[in-house]
A and B are shown apart, each in its own frame.
Chain A
Amino acid sequence: DIQMTQSPSSLSASVGDRVTITCRASQSITIFLNWYQQKPGKAPKLLIYGASSLQSGVPSRFSGSGSGTDFTLTISSLQPEDFATYYCQQSYSTPTFGQGTRLEIK
């Protein structure tokens, strides 16, 4: 299976900050990389698909980039509702998720 490694595992930031989360695949997955946001007690929500395409209804402050093995999720200006856990997921082969990045309020 392809292993997905996210960094950092947790992150403290303030409202208005620019935040970047990284996801690395154990082998090339081209652009078959998706990002999800999960809030406590809720189901995950799709943010980005195909590495950089914004899912309908997701604010434009979220963006994704990368290809091959290295990917990033960027939030350009953190809003209070963005504090959550973020997961990457590859769909190049049998799907796997990263371990998650918990984004907390500083």
Chain B
Amino acid sequence: QVTLKESGPALVKPTQTLTVTCTFSGFSLNTSGMRVSWIRQPPGKALEWLARIDWDDDKLYSTSLKTRLTISKDTSKNQVVLTITNTDPVDTATYYCARWSARGGAMDVWGQGTTVTVSS
């Protein structure tokens, strides 16, 4: 059974760096073709794709946010970490991680999400 679970701080002050962690089970990021993405959703708004990391450590970032994002993996811990620098209240959102399926490039299994508020 594939599961993913996000964790991170509930509150971050503006300009600080936000770090969210995705801990997964049921698959390995050492396996060829495996990928994990991060997606966020501000309250009452649409989904926004943020970043993806591949089994071979290739990375892809949102065009609009790439200067502020860093994605990394720790395969020994089955974790993927996303950092967002220089946070702003507009970064307030629920942050989801999801497994990226090779079929159609869809995100087929999602975590429950972790809610982060950026406020002073």
Contacts and interface: CB of A to CB of B under 8 A. Distances in A.
Interface of A: 1, 31-34, 36, 38, 43-46, 49-51, 53, 55, 87, 89, 91-92, 94-100
19 contacts: A32-B105, A34-B104, A43-B96, A43-B98, A43-B110, A43-B112, A44-B96, A49-B103, A49-B105, A49-B106, A50-B103, A50-B104, A51-B104, A89-B47, A91-B106, A94-B62, A97-B47, A97-B49, A100-B47
Interface string B58-100: 0011111000000000000000000000000000000010100
Contacts of B113: 43
- Chain A interface, DSSP helix/strand/loop, else mixed: loop
A55 B37 contact: no
A95 B112 CA distance: 20
Given A95-B37, A95-B49, A46 B107 contact: yes
Sort chain B's interface into a size bin. Answer: 20 to 34
Contacts of A32: 104-105
B49 A89 contact: yes
Nearest to A85: B46
A50 B108 CA distance: 12
B60 A94 contact: yes
